[in-house]
Amino acid sequence: MRIRIKPFGPVDPDVLDFLRTELRDLGEVDAAPEAPLPAEGWNQKKGQYHATSLHRESREEPGDRVLAVTIADLYSDGLNFVFGAATIYDRYAAISLARLGPRDGPRFRERVVKEAIHELGHTLGLDHDPDPRCVMHFSMNLAATDAKGRGFCKRCAAAAEITLRRLGT
């Protein structure tokens, strides 16, 4: 599959390059130029952006999947914050780097990759996995993110494979 990375607001180019490299196992990856954060997604009271506003702003992008990346803090309906959000079986995933710890911390990049793969997994039709080691496990906090691996477990990999094959990769 072809994955298009789309930064919303300034994102460290090193992190974007790192993601491009690390997501290659899933398909071809390229990056769009930086776009402004969508004003309609801003919630003044919360001081956060609604995650789906990034999905909407990704509609014009080419590629089988679009991964929006931002340093802005995101929330979603019923959740005070999210590390990321995605549309199940649709093209759109988004991740926020806001709560993944200090950028120069030893685990930051690994967390970014895990959250990116997790959200892309949703777009491949995967639901949350109770297995705490699988990347599709729902992380409520960073400890849970750190405890899980960056890969799909056997069961999730097999399910994702069906969609990946349909996309021709």
50-79: contacts with Zn ion (CB under 5 A): none
For Zn ion, the closer CB: 29 or 136: 136
Q: Which range, of 5-13, 42-50, 122-130, 160-168, touches Zn ion by CB under 5 A?
A: 122-130
Which of 129, 148, 159, 160 is in the footprint of Zn ion by CB under 5 A? Answer: 129
156 makes contact with Zn ion (CB under 5 A): yes
Other Cβ atoms less than 10 A from the Cβ of 31: the count is 18
Does 110 participate in catalysis according to the annotation? no
Q: Which range, of 34-42, 58-66, 97-105, 145-153, touches Zn ion by CB under 5 A?
A: 145-153
Q: 69 Cβ partners below 8 Å, 6+ apart?
A: 5, 6, 7, 8, 11, 15, 16, 19, 94, 95, 97, 116
Among 138, 149, 137, 43, CA closest to 82: 138
Which of 136, 139, 145, 148 is in the footprint of Zn ion by CB under 5 A? Answer: 136
Among 154, 153, 137, CA closest to 145: 137
Question: Catalytic amino acids?
Answer: 119
Instruction: Catalog residues that contact Zn ion under the rule CB under 5 A.
Output: 129, 134, 136, 153, 156
